[in-house]
Amino acid sequence: MTKSEKVTFVINTLNELYPEIPIPLNHKDPYTLLIAVLLSAQCTDVRVNQITPLLFAKADNPYDMVKMSIEEIKEIIRPCGLSPMKSKGIHGLSEILIEKHNGEVPQSFADLEALPAVGHKTASVVMSQAFGVPAFPVDTHIHRLLYRWGFTNGKNVQQTEKDAKRLFPRELWNELHLQIIWYGREYSPARGWDLEKDIITRTIGRKSVLQEKTK
């Protein structure tokens, strides 16, 4: 298969498997999505979805969030890990949203990435899922799969994002990055990987990856 044929195969297979794409993190608006994505760093989405209802019951907007102390936020989000940094980030970004953005989550990469504890991946998720702006957030699943499929050299997530955007049509980015995440979890995980179930890697996978797997 040519590279473009492989890309088409991936798109078609993912559309068959995931015609309806659930959003991994529970949220009701851009602010609650921003907080949930921030909490998901080095934490599972399942755990985040268990913790956010507890946090949002006390504060689901920046005005209520700044009334809480950093210590109070930290105690609630502790099970998500990195709670000292995340609690400062949540409190700090809530203050900035009130001071600079009328309490609203800004709709630009630059403004989002200027917020405390918000990196490019978090900004990309918010831009794509909250505002519908084409973006291709690269998490560990996407980074792993695009390497396994031979679409990137896998040296870093920045390169993986560039390669993904170059290969896949812009109008598909927002759906596709979610489809790849779900596929990675269900069919091509880092641990307990069964190549027989992983039709995409089995069909178009990088030769070195397949050889290593079938030793």
Predicted local distance difference test score (pLDDT) of residue 213: 87
pTM for this model (two decimals) = 0.92
Predicted local distance difference test score (pLDDT) of residue 23: 85
- 105 and 175 together in one domain: no
Quickly count: other Cβ atoms within 10 Å of residue 85's Cβ: 14
Annotation marks residue 64 as catalytic = no
- 47 and 111 together in one domain: yes
* pLDDT tens for the 215 residues of the chain, in order: 999 999 999 999 999 999 999 889 999 999 999 999 999 999 999 999 999 999 999 999 999 999 999 999 999 999 999 999 999 999 999 999 999 999 999 999 999 999 999 999 999 999 999 999 999 999 989 999 999 999 999 789 999 999 999 999 999 999 999 999 999 999 999 999 999 999 999 999 999 999 998 87
- 104 and 55 together in one domain: yes
Residue 159, domain CATH: 1.10.1670.10
Could you list the residue range(s) of the whole structural domain that residue 175 is in? Answer: 3-21+137-214
Q: Which of 45, 139, 163, 198 is catalytic?
A: 139
Q: Which of 6, 74, 86, 121 is catalytic?
A: 121
Annotation marks residue 121 as catalytic = yes
Q: How far is CA 136 from CA 53, 61, 131, 132, 177, in A?
A: 27, 26, 13, 11, 6
Query: What tokens were used for 63?
Result: 């005005």
- 45 and 92 together in one domain: yes
Residue 68 and residue 163: Cα distance in Å, rounded? 42
- 42 and 108 together in one domain: yes
